[in-house]
């Protein structure tokens, strides 16, 4: 194996050997943003170089330009893109994150949907599910509200990283994943075993797991067209404005009205022109598409008597 800066295993390869100012690094950065939406500005150039350098080393290449050509022209380019998506993934999430949004879904959005559509299925898409905590939290919230057993509900979870989806499908989690989930819900929906807590089979089976690149219309259009609710949280913080517009436009064009889009706490569409309007639903801020975007008067605080009390997140 070639010498990678004094190391012979490719681990810890020094990105400076390839050069942070290499024009090919900019070419790669823009190519990656075009394909995945993930954009590394100049302040994160060294982070991108470190991630890419490990892949350059692992492929036995000598430059960023070689890696660019590999991604663009190699016969196995899709496999290399999959490897890159796994490398760029940020597996930082936890159960019951932004629980006010889960509450809004279970207390307001779901009952309004079934009141207006009768037996029509409620379809929820977790568009960047990472290791699975978000879609499983959605399933728990709807189960605690009594909807999961009484009404037709479909939950689909996707991620651009196949490795993240496989971890989500296994459903095994360490202690940090439960830092906001009420203890009684962990006891109810998870089973302790060596290495952590396993999501109960009855919970995992409520979710259909798949891979999807948000920058691919072929991936996004069928998922958005079937989704009454989309959770796309803590994704757009990594995207350029142009990439956000592109993804949100597909959401808006394909979602049935009224469609509800939940973003992360640090994300906003207000600076962009989109077909979504910001509304307060059940105490949470939600982007809504279609006529009658806001909930009916008083819906924010409506509870069905005797059905459930929404568990508060631990602090």
pTM of the model as a whole: 0.87
- What is the rounded CA–CA span in Å between residue 201 and residue 241? 39
pLDDT at residue 300, rounded to an integer: 41
CATH code at 99-301 = 3.40.50.150
The domain defined by 15-88 folds into: Chemotaxis Receptor Methyltransferase Cher; domain 1 (1.10.155)
Residues 165, 170, 173: CA angle, nearest 5 degrees: 100
3-state secondary structure of 227: coil
What strand order describes the sheet that includes 207-211?
207-211, 153-159, 122-126, 229-231, 259-262, 284-289, 277-281
The rounded Cα 48 to chain-centroid distance in angstroms is: 20
pLDDT at residue 119, rounded to an integer: 76
Structure tokens, 72: 């663009």
pLDDT at residue 311, rounded to an integer: 52
Q: Where are the domains of the chain?
A: 15-88, 99-301
User: How many Cα atoms occupy the beta-carbon half-sphere of 50 within 13 Å?
Assistant: 5
pLDDT at residue 19, rounded to an integer: 60
- What is the rounded CA–CA span in Å between residue 206 and residue 218? 24
Give the pLDDT of the chain (315 residues) as one tens digit per residue.
222 232 334 334 444 555 656 889 999 999 999 999 999 999 999 999 999 998 999 999 989 999 999 999 999 999 999 999 999 998 889 999 999 999 999 999 999 999 998 778 999 999 999 999 999 999 999 999 999 999 999 999 999 999 999 999 999 999 999 999 999 999 999 999 998 999 999 999 999 999 999 999 999 999 999 999 999 999 999 999 999 999 999 999 999 999 999 999 999 999 999 999 999 999 999 999 975 444 433 334 333 323 344 454 443
pLDDT at residue 290, rounded to an integer: 74
């Amino acid at each position: 194996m070639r010498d990678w800066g004094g190391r012979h295993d490719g681990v810890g390869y020094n990105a400076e050997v390839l050069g942070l100012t290499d024009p090919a690094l900019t070419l790669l950065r823009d190519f990656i943003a075009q394909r995945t939406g993930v954009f590394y500005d100049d302040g994160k150039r060294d982070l991108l170089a470190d991630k890419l350098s490990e892949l350059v080393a692992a492929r036995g290449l000598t430059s960023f330009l070689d890696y660019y050509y590999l991604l663009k022209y190699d016969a196995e380019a899709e496999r290399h893109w999959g490897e890159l998506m796994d490398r760029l993934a940020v597996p930082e999430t936890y159960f019951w994150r932004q629980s006010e949004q889960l509450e809004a879904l279970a207390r307001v959005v779901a009952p309004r949907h079934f009141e207006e559509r009768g037996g029509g299925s409620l379809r929820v898409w977790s568009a960047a599910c990472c290791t699975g905590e978000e879609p499983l939290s959605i399933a728990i919230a709807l189960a605690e509200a009594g909807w999961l057993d009484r009404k037709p509900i479909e939950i689909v979870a996707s991620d651009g990283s196949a490795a993240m989806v496989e971890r989500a499908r296994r459903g095994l989690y360490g202690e940090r994943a439960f830092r906001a989930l009420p203890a009684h819900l962990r006891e109810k929906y998870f089973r302790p075993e060596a290495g952590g807590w396993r999501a109960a089979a009855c919970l995992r089976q409520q979710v259909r797991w798949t891979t999807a690149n948000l920058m691919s219309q072929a991936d996004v259009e069928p998922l958005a067209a079937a989704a009454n609710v989309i959770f796309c949280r803590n994704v757009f913080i990594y995207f350029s404005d142009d990439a956000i517009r592109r993804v949100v436009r597909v959401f808006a064009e394909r979602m049935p009205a009224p469609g509800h889009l939940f973003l992360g706490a640090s994300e906003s569409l207000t600076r962009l022109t989109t077909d979504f309007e910001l509304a307060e639903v059940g105490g949470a801020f939600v982007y809504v598409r279609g006529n009658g975007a806001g909930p009916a008067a008083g819906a924010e605080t409506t509870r069905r008597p005797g059905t459930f009390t929404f568990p508060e997140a631990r602090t």
